[in-house]
Structures are given as structure tokens and as C-alpha cells.
């Protein structure tokens, strides 16, 4: 399973706090898309959906602010690993996540649980 290669895609259109701007894309695990003020996250890792169904329950749900804070830490660690070329078989892209943007609880929840999945499956510390 360590050598499992999965096609992944990242695309993020980031809105700054005052102006909207587009940022680059890469091909890794997830994509966050914007339609006006609604955001959507797509994770193409085939194992994640099964893992998510087994591990997430409403009893484990948190607030949007909790997810945003945890995602800031995880995105920072993810991008740090990417720039240092650590765990290159898993972390193959840079994630563009604008901390000023509220992506909504659905996107933040799914991104948080994806980071939990990476931690559990690949033993990579992201959320600390």
C-alpha cells in the first residue's frame, strides 16, 4: 500500500479579502473550487471516502472556526513538507489556502478530515 500511486489534483481559486484573484493549480490529492461565494472541495483519493465513512460521525463534529484553525496549521505543515521535498510520494503539490477566506464548514470539515486521513494512513504529522 506504501507504493500506491493515486492521481490527485489541486486547484484553488483564492479570493483575497478585498479582491478576487486566481492562483495556480497542481495535480495532487484535492481541489477547492469557487463559484461566486460558494466553495467546493473534491478529493480524488479513492481510499479517502471509505476511510471518511468509517471515521467521521456527527458526534466528532466541530465548529467551522475549529476546522479553520486546524487547517491553517495543517496547510502550513503540508506546504513546508512540500518545499523541503519530504514525503514526496504523498505530498506532491503546494496547497493554496487563503486564511482570510471563509470557505464554509463543509469545505473546512472535509479538508480537516483529509489531513486526518493522511496522518492515519501515512503517519505524516500535519495537524500537531
State the cell numbers at 85.
521535498
Residue pair 115/28 in contact (Cβ under 8 Å)? The answer is no
Burial class (CB in 10 A: 0-12, 13-18, 19+), 4: exposed
Structural domain of residue 93, as residue ranges?
25-122
Q: Flag whether 12 is in a domain.
A: no
The total of structural domains in the chain comes to 1
Q: Flag whether 3 is in a domain.
A: no
Q: Flag whether 15 is in a domain.
A: no
pTM listed for this prediction: 0.72
- The predicted pLDDT at position 92 comes to 87
- The predicted pLDDT at position 68 comes to 96
Residues in the chain with pLDDT < 50? 1-28
Q: Flag whether 13 is in a domain.
A: no
Amino acid at each position: 500500500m506504501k507504493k500506491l500511486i493515486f492521481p490527485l489534483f489541486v486547484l484553488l481559486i483564492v479570493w483575497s479579502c478585498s479582491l478576487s484573484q486566481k492562483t495556480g493549480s497542481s495535480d495532487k490529492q484535492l481541489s477547492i473550487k469557487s463559484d461566486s461565494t460558494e466553495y467546493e472541495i473534491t478529493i480524488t483519493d479513492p481510499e479517502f471516502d471509505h476511510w471518511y465513512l468509517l471515521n467521521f460521525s456527527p458526534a466528532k463534529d466541530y465548529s467551522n472556526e475549529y476546522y479553520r484553525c486546524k487547517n491553517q496549521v495543517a496547510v502550513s505543515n503540508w506546504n513546508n513538507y512540500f518545499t523541503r521535498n519530504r514525503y514526496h510520494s504523498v505530498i506532491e503539490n503546494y496547497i493554496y489556502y487563503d486564511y482570510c477566506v471563509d470557505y464554509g464548514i463543509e469545505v473546512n470539515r472535509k479538508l480537516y478530515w483529509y489531513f486526518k486521513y493522511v496522518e492515519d494512513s501515512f503517519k505524516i504529522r500535519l495537524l500537531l
